[in-house]
Amino acid sequence: MSELTDIFSMMKINITDTQEKQLNKFYEMLIERNKVMNLTAITEYSQVVIKHYADSAAIANVADMESDMRIIDVGTGAGFPGIVLKIIFPNLRLTLLDSLNKRINFLKEVISELRLEDIRAVHARAEDFARDKNEREKYDLCVSRAVANLSSLSEYCLPFVKVGGIFISYKAENCEEEIKTADKAVKLLGGTVRDIITCEIPASDIKRKFIVVEKKKSTPAKYPRKAGLPAKEPLI
């Protein structure tokens, strides 16, 4: 059993030989492109497997990733969690969204090289993309591993989620105060915090917290506010 399959088996996720090859090819492409642009500070193979791959996949403890969902990964960066989720759960219909075109170009190359289907990489700011009638409130699930406070993230993410869908934010262990601070914003945007679930990442001391926000009603038309405002002036 390889290091990669071993980590995933600890998480009760079985990957095929093809999926293992795809994940390893993704790693090679990530490290090669990282030489010329900043994609990740984590470059050692075993650390990428734990801190990027296993961490991305840990959401399977929280949501049914085997179902045929339409998902958007907001602020996907180098493709975490989106690319990893698409490889492991090929049934997902996935949109990767990022505001930096260089990252999107890299992800398009990954999608092509790995021959992934039902996935697209889009260069846009969340504040602008969420105003597109073909994108707004069209997703069953929005995920984000981006580094931003929950109030700002909710304004970026909840407009994409259909009523009855969910937004799941990847957070660090000590985020209770942040959740309390964001409560008003989450409700204002049509959501409610349904669960806070802690997952231990195998072969590490990482405790990942998932904030599960259920979309209860439509997001008011004025949100998200214009580009830059959710980060500069979070709703409180």
Q: What is the mean pLDDT of residues 166-182?
A: 93
The share of the chain scoring above pLDDT 90, in percent, equals 95
pLDDT at 164: 98
4 DSSP assignment: H
pLDDT at 222: 96
Residue 87: band (very low, low, confident or very high) from pLDDT cuts 50, 70, 90:
very high
Residue 26 has pLDDT above 80, yes or no: yes
CA distance 169 to 110: 24
pTM for the model stands at 0.96
pLDDT at 147: 82
Q: Write the CA distances from 66 to 52, 91, 232, integer angstroms.
A: 20, 7, 37
Indicate the average pLDDT of the chain: 96
Residue 146: band (very low, low, confident or very high) from pLDDT cuts 50, 70, 90:
confident
pLDDT at 224: 97
CA distance 85 to 94: 9
**To 10 degrees, what angle do helices 176-188 and 150-157 make?**
30
Residue 156: band (very low, low, confident or very high) from pLDDT cuts 50, 70, 90:
very high
Pick among 3.40.50.150, 3.50.50.60, 3.40.710.10, 3.30.950.10: CATH of 3-232: 3.40.50.150
Q: Enumerate the domain spans of the chain.
A: 3-232
CA distance 119 to 113: 13
- Nearest alpha-carbon partner for 120 in 144, 90, 95: 95
Which strands, in side-by-side order, build the sheet including 161-171? 119-123, 93-98, 70-74, 139-144, 161-171, 207-215, 191-200
pLDDT at 1: 72
